[in-house]
Amino acid sequence: ARRVVVLISGSGSNLQALIDAQAHDELGGEIVAVISNQADAYGLKRARDAGIDAVVLPHREYDSREAYDGALIKVIERHEPDLIVLAGFMRILTPRFVNRFLGRMLNIHPSLLPAYQGLHTHARALSDGVAEHGCSVHFVTEELDGGPVALQAEVAITPEDTEESLKAKVQAREHLIFPIAVCWYLEGRLRLEGDAATMDGTPLPPTGMR
């Protein structure tokens, strides 16, 4: 089976969606390890409950980003993954790390990229008064939240929405699209070719598939 390593920092609801997809034979591979930079991440319990190797690698124990990412590379490579999945991993990655796994790393981001890169995406979308928001699965490149988009899902913002309600709506979509993108990758259909994400060999538009 194709091997997946998932990196998390928190709740791990996207990890859970991936675990559930695997349980239904819909992931196209096996999650062989979950790694968290936060010792108290709830996602670690989700991993253990699913019988998956759960590793804590606290960034505070390293002097520099380079040292941490070097240690992270070692732990990841021990598990010989075909794909590294960033599921709420709230760390900026070094160029060395990104390039080591270039074309083999997918991230989920809570906005319709290229809109709202960075943090606090729901609050920013609300305060701008935009009608459409959502989430994106993209390949990780050196450009933070700037790698080629594979798949997006939209949600409508309504006048009643709060940051919390919007986050819940977007995350429900994340849980739908992330396992699909991972499966397409593991089947060899979704790839990074040069600067573009491709599906079945066809380059995708900048906003990926929707």
Rg of the chain, C-alpha, whole Å: 16
Answer yes or no whether residue 13 interacts with ligand GAR by CB under 6 A.
yes
| Residue 144 marked in a binding site | no
d(CA 9, CA 47): 13
Q: Which amino acid is at 208?
A: G
CB 62 within 8 A of CB 68: yes
| Residue 13 marked in a binding site | yes
Site for ligand GAR (CB under 6 A): which residue of 28, 29, 81, 88? 88
**Active-site residue, from 109, 122, 133, 138:** 109
Answer yes or no whether residue 208 interacts with ligand GAR by CB under 6 A.
no
From residue 208, alpha-carbon distances to 49, 72, 78, 196 in Å are: 34, 29, 32, 9
Answer yes or no whether residue 14 interacts with ligand GAR by CB under 6 A.
yes
Q: CA-based angle 11:149:16, to the nearest 5?
A: 25
Q: Is position 109 annotated as part of the catalytic site?
A: yes
Answer yes or no whether residue 36 interacts with ligand GAR by CB under 6 A.
no
Answer yes or no whether residue 108 interacts with ligand GAR by CB under 6 A.
yes
Using the rule CB under 6 A, give the single segment among 3-11, 98-106, 147-155, 194-202 that binds ligand GAR: 3-11
Answer yes or no whether residue 11 interacts with ligand GAR by CB under 6 A.
yes
- Catalytic residue numbers? 109
Q: Which residues of this protein are in contact with ligand GAR, per CB under 6 A?
A: 8, 10-14, 43, 87-88, 108-110, 135, 171, 174
